[in-house]
Amino acid sequence: MSWKPMTVQPMMKTGDNNDADPTGSSFAATAQGTFDGVDLQQLAQHIATPFHAYSATAIRQRINELQTALAGVDAMICFAVKANSNLAILQLMASAGVGADIVSVGELRRSLHAGMPPERIVFSGVGKSADEIAGALNVGIARFNVESLDELHTLQQVAKAQQMTARVAVRINPDVDAQTHAKISTGKSENKFGVSIDEARRWFAERRQLTHVQLDGLHVHIGSQILSLDPFRLALQRVAAFWRELERAGHPINSIDVGGGLGVCYRAGEDHPVAAVDYVATIREALAGYQGRILLEPGRYLIAEAGVLLTRVIRIKQGAERQFLVLDAAMNDLQRPSLYDAWHDIVPVSDASRPMTRYDIVGPVCETGDTFAREREMPECVAGDLLLIKATGAYGASMASTYNSRPLAAEVLLNQGRYAVVRRRQHFEEMIAGEQPARHWETL
């Protein structure tokens, strides 16, 4: 989607949006002040800020781009549920034929609840407990992406006890630098994820001892917000060489899961994401000749730019050195800036032409880290102004907390001029549910 404040852009007419999008984002709004055909000023009259809004059209567009690029490939797209686990979003994914990449039993239950067929669910993560493994096995998920020998043995034991066979892919750590933020880089040997090719080779050599595990898949995921094809290409080349070696050694590989990681545009004019068609071309090229199924686990790519966080200015505070724009959204609603120093474009939903100024844009949480942007140049604001924090659809609401006893924000799905509240703002009573005074002291 594209959002241009009226202060700096002339009004666009509906259908006038086929010019190059100056934000660098591929989702073009059809008119100023609207997102997926919904007037945001009016919406914010009905729903108290801060709240997340997602464009169903933009999500479908992204799914479609990837599906189209994959035409002719035996592929399954499994949305990384951690990016946005709202049930309505998962339902939308399911109805478009997309499956789920899960990392906990909570995500499994959400996915099933949203109508995802178990045969479209894959389970990743270094810390699957025996209980979680048993539950996922029971419902018949497609595949476990296994990350350690201990996990492989646990899976064998659990499957044996349940008299079932678990389908397994080994997650390869290809020792590739994803050229992204250190906290979201996962494919280097120093990272906790996956196993080396040497270790995986030993697993396959001994695979016949695993009576209740069908080890016939490879998995790789090197990191997130990757803006270049090179790290993907390098990782896939290593995986492809290993697949060929395994096939020669008599180990059939029925699935290769290429993970997620495709980056998006957070900063207009600066971030230049890879197009889906080029990403898929890289996969096709690296895995040329491969006959089995290819799995993809995109999270951010499918939903980040389809979401915005709507927030109002509480006040402007003139500090000794800086001018602060204090919003009603905070780090508990969107952690990415405080956690990864992530940039998000922030623009006013305003029709007045105003001079530009610089603000440190902050929330009400009592931490200096509760800062969305430093020294950010933007049109002058006044208390009550409605602002958009852009590209918050992924890892926004799903990473939210109630820090400072702030309730979880509402989430709203927009679809061609209509809206549906898909999560209402948390009530105070819900926030404290489960807590109680220490009345009953127990001894062991």
Instruction: Write out the catalytic residue numbers.
Output: 366
Rounded CA separation 294/75 (Å): 5
> How far apart are CB 124 and ligand LLP at their closest, in Å?
4
Spatial contact of 232 and 279, defined as CB atoms under 8 Å apart: yes
Which one, 22 or 127, has the nearer CB to ligand LLP? Answer: 127
**Coil, strand or helix: which one is 217?**
strand
Measure CA 134 to chain center.
Answer: 26
Is residue 152 close enough to count as binding ligand LLP by CB under 6 A? no
Per DSSP, helices labelled H in 206-268 are 229-248
Of the candidates 225, 332, 350, 371, which one interacts with ligand LLP according to CB under 6 A?
225
Is residue 266 close enough to count as binding ligand LLP by CB under 6 A? no
Count of residues that bind ligand LLP according to CB under 6 A: 22
Per DSSP, helices labelled H in 334-397 are 336-340
> What is the DSSP code (8-state) at residue 259?
-
Is residue 83 close enough to count as binding ligand LLP by CB under 6 A? yes
Which one, 132 or 385, has the nearer CB to ligand LLP? Answer: 132
DSSP result, 134-182: HHHHHHT-SEEEE-SHHHHHHHHHHHHHTT--EEEEEEB-------S-G
**201 to each of 172, 192, 196, 212, 257, how far by Cα in Å?**
10, 19, 9, 19, 17
Which one, 215 or 262, has the nearer CB to ligand LLP? Answer: 262
Residue with token string 């990473």: 399
Contacts of 442 (CB under 8 A, 6+ apart): none
Beta bridge partners of 379: 356
Of the candidates 57, 111, 224, 350, which one interacts with ligand LLP according to CB under 6 A?
224
Of the candidates 266, 301, 359, 419, which one interacts with ligand LLP according to CB under 6 A?
301
Is residue 273 close enough to count as binding ligand LLP by CB under 6 A? no
Which one, 199 or 380, has the nearer CB to ligand LLP? Answer: 199
> How far apart are CB 396 and ligand LLP at their closest, in Å?
8
Spatial contact of 411 and 52, defined as CB atoms under 8 Å apart: yes
Is residue 231 close enough to count as binding ligand LLP by CB under 6 A? no
Is residue 101 close enough to count as binding ligand LLP by CB under 6 A? yes
Q: Which stretch binds ligand LLP (CB under 6 A): 61-69, 218-226, 275-283, 419-427?
A: 218-226
Is residue 232 close enough to count as binding ligand LLP by CB under 6 A? no
* Nearest Cα residue to 76 out of 334, 331, 254: 254
> How far apart are CB 80 and ligand LLP at their closest, in Å?
3
Beta bridge partners of 371: 362
Rounded CA separation 247/250 (Å): 5
111 phi, psi to nearest 5 deg: -65, -45
Is residue 50 close enough to count as binding ligand LLP by CB under 6 A? no
Of the candidates 2, 25, 49, 124, which one interacts with ligand LLP according to CB under 6 A?
124
Q: Binding pattern to ligand LLP, positions 381-420, x when CB under 6 A?
A: -------------xx---x---------------------
Which one, 92 or 184, has the nearer CB to ligand LLP? Answer: 184
Residues that bind ligand LLP (CB under 6 A): 80, 83, 101, 124, 184, 221, 224-225, 259-262, 297-301, 336, 340, 394-395, 399
